[in-house]
Amino acid sequence: MKELLFVGIFYALFLVVSLKLKKSLLGLKLIWSLLLLPYLIAIWWYLELILRFHYFLRDHQIYLELGHASILLIELLVLMYITALIIIVDLLYRKLRNMNVN
């Protein structure tokens, strides 16, 4: 159960930051699409940070059963990329719709 809480907290943090980023990108008039690639790369770095935190906990005798080869973290990565894809598509749709209205 503590494993799901561990993953849930990190996903919720990711979701909050992603939605704040989306809101700020909607307000930009400059080349906002250049920020999308670093956003996707940052997701991978975020997973690396989570993995290092998991190792830190393990080194301090706090064990989380994340499955063989940390399958729960791999599932989290897939979920974060799916969420990012949905956010990017929604962002592009809103930007294109606003361009056609103006």
Lowest mean pLDDT among 4-8, 41-45, 81-85: 4-8
First to last CA, the chain: 50
Residue type, 21: L
Q: How much is the pLDDT for 81?
A: 96
Give the tens place of pLDDT for each residue, 48-70: 998 898 889 888 888 877 777 67
Q: How many other C-beta atoms lie within 10 A of the C-beta of residue 90?
A: 12
Give the tens place of pLDDT for each residue, 71-81: 888 899 999 99
- Which pLDDT band, with edges at 50, 70 and 90, does 20 fall under? very high
In sequence order, which residues have a C-beta less than 8 Å from that of residue 63 and are 6 or more positions away?
A: 57
What is the residue range of 61's domain?
2-23+32-101
Q: How much is the pLDDT for 26?
A: 81
Q: What is the domain count for the chain?
A: 1
pTM for the whole thing?
A: 0.83
Q: Which residue has the higher pLDDT, 10 or 26?
A: 10
Residue 3 in contact with residue 65, Cβ under 8 Å?
A: yes
Residue 50, H or E segment: helix 36-59
Residue 61, H or E segment: none
Q: What is the mean pLDDT of the chain?
A: 85
- Which pLDDT band, with edges at 50, 70 and 90, does 30 fall under? low
